[in-house]
Structure 1
Amino acid sequence: MASTTHSGMKTIGLVGGMSWESSAVYYRDLNLGVRKRLGGLASPRLVMSTVDFAELTELEDAERWDQVGALLAEAGRSVERGGADFLLLCTTTFHKVADQVQAAVDIPLLHLADVVADACAQAGVARVAFIGTTVAMSDGFFTDRMAGHGFEVLVPPASEHDWLNSAIYEELVHGHVLDRTRRRVVELIHQLWDAGAEGVLLGCTELELLIHQADVDLPVFPCTTLHVEAALDRALS
């Protein structure tokens, strides 16, 4: 059988397990993306290290972020030892410790917020809504980085954070996609639109299982999909 090799392809490093549903989306979409771009039997060069989500969420709940960072830094080092040329964290929330992970490795980390900022700039929007976990919405690690690129970021009122967080952790990470949750999130997106948002960032991989462009009139920026496309651009450049 004749085959075409792509020896110039860079190896993508993935730190996953936050949740495995999220990691599965990254793995699937990276493979589909290479097949779409290169055809034939082409598939990406990947090294993945996954962590125990239960351990990480316990540390998160206890706000022991230094230990979260240490665990993800070690996962990043193992991916680097496996031959990765650059690194992705297959998560939004745990980008809170992205700087700690980057400091632990000698390969570049492709930061999700930088990728999303590029996409928003190309789309010509200046003010965007961001929905995700409570940590991602209330802590500045993502929105501040977006602001550093010149974007104004709106998040839902604090009164909405708990139910949205519960929908992510109690439904979506288990693969449960419920119509009632979709309706409520769409309603929330429309409120943010009324508040002046010109687009909405789906700031959690699992939210892309729930919300699609067809559900809302506001431009949707699916962060994981954008992260994957940017990784493919880098790997195949």
Structure 2
Amino acid sequence: MKKLGIVGGTGPESTIDYYQSIIAKYQEKRGTKEELPELLINSINMYRIFELLENDRTEELVDYLAEAVNSLERAGAEFAVIAANTPHIVFEEIQQKVKIPMISIIEETVSKAHEAGLEKIGLLGTKFTMENDFFKIPFTEKQKDVFVPTDSEQAYIHEKIVEELENGIVNPDTKKEYLAIVSRMIDRHGIEGIILGCTEFPMIFKPEDLSIPQLNTTEIHVDKIVETIFDE
């Protein structure tokens, strides 16, 4: 069994979801409720990440996240993940600064979209995820088209992530508007699936809510994490 290190707190709600989901899937794979995976969580400051991104202090962001991973390695982690989508904006730079392997939430989501045969895909996330290309490029390299909401829709989505979802608040009006945004993206672009590119989105999006497949990045990431724990 490999010992996992999680960079969490990115935000806190999704870190809890990761922890609970990893345990559930691990126990399912083991076939017993009397086993638990050994893992480490380094809970860092999500708001510092946002501040560094807002001010284009990319090198500081890389150093901050790399040190979080290195702390996990010193504590005994054999591989690591960042329990959020937005910090993956500097994933490659972080991997170059750490010794233990890391699992990319984006790489695993691309694989899942390919497996599902999706070619035109919508992307929701923080403004950093939607505005930048770090999530889109791996899809376009696989000849898949990625579409994001309009600027005003992006602003609304980001605001509600920061003010509500990151604080564990699920507002029915926010959910209604989120679903309306996806519906408009289906009409505008003919998207065949939607990437839930914020690990808090499972709080608000449920599988039965939409007529198109949802790529739940948290679930996709956790599946690969549990698989890796069992790798020899």
Superposition TM-score, scaled by structure 2 size: 0.95
RMSD: 1.2
- Residues 42 and 72, structure 2, Cα contact 8 Å, conserved in 1: yes
Q: Could you tell me which amino acid in structure 1 is paired with residue 2 of structure 2?
A: K
Find the counterpart in structure 2 of residue 3 from structure 1: none
- CA distances 1:148-178 after superposition (whole Å, capped 9, x unpaired): 2332111111221111100100000011101
Matches within 5 A, 1:107-186: 107-186=100-179
Q: Percent identity?
A: 28
Q: Which moved more, 1:167-176 or 1:101-110?
A: 101-110
Provide the C-alpha distance between the structure 2 equivalents of 1:78 and 1:33, rounded to a whole number of angstroms: 26
- Give aligned pairs, total: 229
Q: Could you tell me which amino acid in structure 2 is paired with residue 75 of structure 1?
A: A
* Post-superposition offset of 1:57: 2.3
Name the structure, 1 or 2, with higher relative contact order (CA <8 Å, separation 6+): 2
Find the counterpart in structure 2 of residue 10 from structure 1: 2
Provide the C-alpha distance between the structure 1 equivalents of 2:117 and 2:149, rounded to a whole number of angstroms: 22
- CA distances 1:16-42 after superposition (whole Å, capped 9, x unpaired): 111111211111111111112111311
Q: Could you tell me which amino acid in structure 2 is paired with residue 10 of structure 1?
A: K
Provide the C-alpha distance between the structure 1 equivalents of 2:186 and 2:101, rounded to a whole number of angstroms: 35
Find the counterpart in structure 2 of residue 34 from structure 1: 26
Where do 4+ consecutive residues of structure 1 move more than 6 Å? none
Of 98, 110, 113, which residue of structure 2 is paired with 1:105?
98
Of 82, 85, 94, which residue of structure 2 is paired with 1:92?
85
Provide the C-alpha distance between the structure 1 equivalents of 2:170 and 2:33, rounded to a whole number of angstroms: 33
- CA distances 1:75-105 after superposition (whole Å, capped 9, x unpaired): 0111122222221111101111111210111
Q: Does 1:47 align with 2:40?
A: yes
Matches within 5 A, 1:52-91: 52-91=45-84
Provide the C-alpha distance between the structure 2 equivalents of 1:151 and 1:12, rounded to a whole number of angstroms: 31
Provide the C-alpha distance between the structure 1 equivalents of 2:126 and 2:36, rounded to a whole number of angstroms: 32
Q: Give the secondary structure class of the aligned counterpart of 2:136.
A: helix
Provide the C-alpha distance between the structure 1 equivalents of 2:28 and 2:136, rounded to a whole number of angstroms: 32
In structure 2, runs of 5+ residues without a counterpart are: none
Find the counterpart in structure 2 of residue 4 from structure 1: none
- Residues 114 and 146, structure 1, Cα contact 8 Å, conserved in 2: no
Provide the C-alpha distance between the structure 2 equivalents of 1:113 and 1:156, rounded to a whole number of angstroms: 19
Q: Could you tell me which amino acid in structure 2 is paired with residue 146 of structure 1?
A: F
In structure 1, runs of 5+ residues without a counterpart are: 1-8
- Residues 201 and 222, structure 1, Cα contact 8 Å, conserved in 2: yes
Find the counterpart in structure 2 of residue 205 from structure 1: 199
Find the counterpart in structure 2 of residue 228 from structure 1: 222
